[in-house]
Amino acid sequence: MNLITLYNSGLRALCLFGKMALVTVIYIVSSRIIAIIMALLDFGVLGVVIGYIIGSFVGLTAAIAFIRGKFPNPDNKTPIKPLLQFSLPLFLSSLALLILGQADIIILASVTSDYALVGIYSIAVRSLLALSVIWRPIMVTIFPIVSARFGLQNPEGVSNVVKMTSRYLSYTIIPSCILLAVVAPTALDFFYGPNYVSGATALTILAISIIILALFTLFTTTLTAMGKTKQVLEINVISALVAVALLLGLVPMFDVVGAAVTRLAVYALSLILAAYVLRKHVSVQLDREALWKSAVASIITTPFLLTLEFTMTKEFSVVQVLAVEVLVAGFIYLASLRVLKALNGQDFELLRQSFPKSFSKVIDVLQTIMTRK
């Protein structure tokens, strides 16, 4: 798997993101199919592990095949010092992020000794990983672009990438997080059962914090692509220390709500620090129009969703309630964007470039509906 990551980093540097995705798909599909076959043949857990190992070899073979011949043969040895200077702070940053990601759960368990409560909170935290599919891929994509433009001493180009990415984040992560924040009880009931609904307040706070986390990740990805890994380390260390201090003060009084509020506060602090550091090197320009229009359109959905939460939960099944809420939220959000004239031709052109050509007619129809003069 480490070798797959190594070869994928080469594909990423060459902006061959389709090949990167294909390597992942090949690994997942092959490993799971083989694991299932081995399990059905009564090889048990050992068979599943063997399936994963074989699948990883298949994925590695694909990665090597995709990158073969893409780089020239090296004629000298690369010095190790610059590599360590870049990567060592990232390694230490990962340790700080590990503390930041686990401190609330550890302190919550230590202070309350209520492991049922800890389990509910842990599930609420892990549920938010699903939202990362919205913004993680774009961070992978912009890294080599920012690196190339900064290397060419084009700070204006870096600023444009940050602004364009913030526009994408605004129209995707904000409505998703607000939807999850409002329908948190129904979402927990749907995915985990009624016993976990007590974690709804924490999930609501955590969902809002993901909006801040996405923007923070945008800034730190930009800093990393510019080689400012020491600054990223400093930000993460400060955030981890502040998180531990806040948790020790809030968890004894507010349990899971205190833990969730800590994450929200620490993410906000991290965002402020990252913006401050980034401004020293490039002009940080977020797409303010997209931010406020997406926020307004998302907030407009809130009273409708709350009404559905209070009126439908007693009469309909949780599956029906969640389905109606998602559909209503999506319709109101898109209608609000149309009224606010939020989307333009460039946005739909980006969609055309992102999706296969077979989707072009659908995107054309969507553009006709969503844009008005």
DSSP string, 248-270: HHHHHHHHHHHHHHHHHHHHHHH
Q: For residues 52 and 35, is the Cβ–Cβ distance under 8 A? A: yes
Average pLDDT over residues 323-352: 89
d(CA 228, CA 85) in angstroms, rounded, equals 10
- Convert the pLDDT of each residue in 305-321 to its tens digit: 999 988 887 788 999 99
Check residue 214 and give its pLDDT. 93
Q: How many residues does the chain have?
A: 373
Check residue 372 and give its pLDDT. 61
- Convert the pLDDT of each residue in 81-114 to its tens digit: 888 888 899 899 988 888 888 999 999 999 988 8
Average pLDDT over residues 148-155: 78
**Does 151 have pLDDT greater than 80?**
no
**Does 144 have pLDDT greater than 90?**
no
Average pLDDT, the chain: 90
Check residue 186 and give its pLDDT. 94
> What phi, psi does 193 have (nearest 5°)?
110, 165
Tokens 């730190």 locate to 220
Structural tokens at position 200: 């709804």
Tokens 């083989």 locate to 34
Closest CA to 243 of 100, 121, 106, 124: 100
228 or 157, greater pLDDT: 228
Average pLDDT over residues 313-342: 91
59-63, 77-81, 246-250: least confidently modelled range: 77-81
Check residue 156 and give its pLDDT. 83
70-74, 84-88, 152-156: least confidently modelled range: 152-156
Check residue 284 and give its pLDDT. 83
Cβ-in-10-Å burial (0-12, 13-18, 19+) of 84 comes to: exposed
Q: Is 75 helix (H, G, I), strand (E, B) or coil?
A: coil
Q: For residues 301 and 332, is the Cβ–Cβ distance under 8 A? A: yes
Percent of the chain with pLDDT over 70: 99
Average pLDDT over residues 307-336: 91
- Convert the pLDDT of each residue in 13-64 to its tens digit: 888 888 999 999 999 999 999 999 999 998 989 999 999 999 999 999 999 9
Within the chain, where are the H helices? 2-13, 17-40, 44-67, 80-112, 115-127, 132-151, 155-182, 184-192, 200-225, 229-279, 288-312, 318-339, 345-354, 360-370
CA distances from 360 to 346, 348, 352, 364 (A): 14, 10, 6, 6
d(CA 155, CA 127) in angstroms, rounded, equals 37
Structural tokens at position 157: 């180009």
Which pLDDT band holds residue 373 (cuts at 50, 70, 90)?
A: low
- Convert the pLDDT of each residue in 206-224 to its tens digit: 999 999 999 999 999 999 9
Check residue 354 and give its pLDDT. 67
Average pLDDT over residues 129-140: 84
Give the other-Cβ count within 10 Å of 48's Cβ: 17
Give the other-Cβ count within 10 Å of 35's Cβ: 21
Instruction: Return the amino acid letter for 207.
Output: A
DSSP code of residue 43: -
Residue 345's contacts (CB-CB under 8 Å, 6 or more residues apart) are 367, 371
Q: For residues 277 and 156, is the Cβ–Cβ distance under 8 A? A: no
Structural tokens at position 43: 């090889």
d(CA 150, CA 279) in angstroms, rounded, equals 14
d(CA 7, CA 361) in angstroms, rounded, equals 36
